[in-house]
Amino acid sequence: MTQLDVLAPVPGRVVALAEVPDPVFAQELVGPGLAVDPDRTGVAVAVAPVAGRMVKLHPHAFVIQTADGAGVLTHLGIDTVQLAGEGFELHVAEGDDVSAGAPVVTWNPAAVEAGGRSPVIPVIALDAAPDSVVARQAEGPVAAGGVLFTWSR
């Protein structure tokens, strides 16, 4: 069994997925994990929570697959697909290899919130068993690149 540290993509406050205002994430339909309620400090850079290949890249969400096949989804805000990429600047391309902590997307959580959407960021261990995610970070403040949770797989 390996332990995969999954990092916080942005600075903010750690919250349980159950608090995310979207049933797909709150009910862990795509997998367990944690969410970060981002600091509202203007333009911010979301970083890669793990090292691996960028297998899916939308302006508002991305999936990184590690060398041994673990997929981690980072979703910047809720219902942000409706923004059609406006306000999101990508720094990598689909298929790129990224290191943990590398800049992926520049965005503005406060602007997302001002538009009436939650900027909360679910970070999901895709296809993971519910009990395989260990919450390392208690609910509270987290720095970008700090360990958010550990995935035993």
Partner 1 sequence: MDKAEQILAALGGADNIVEIEPCATRLRTEVHDSSLVDEKALKAAGAFGVISAGTVVQVVVGPEADTIATDIEDLM
Active site residue 75: yes
Binding residue (CB under 8 A) for partner 1 from 58, 91, 136, 153: 58
CB of 127 to partner 1, least distance (A): 8
List of E strands, 20-138: 33-38, 44-47, 52-57, 61-65, 71-75, 89-90, 97-98, 103-107, 121-125, 133-135
Question: Residue 24 interacts with partner 1 (CB under 8 A)?
Answer: yes
| Residue 60 touches partner 1, criterion: CB under 8 A | yes
**Residue choice 19, 43, 56, 97 for contact with partner 1 (CB under 8 A):** 56
Residues 6+ apart with CB under 8 A from 86: none
Q: Does 87 bind partner 1 (CB under 8 A)?
A: no
Give the catalytic positions in this structure. Answer: 75
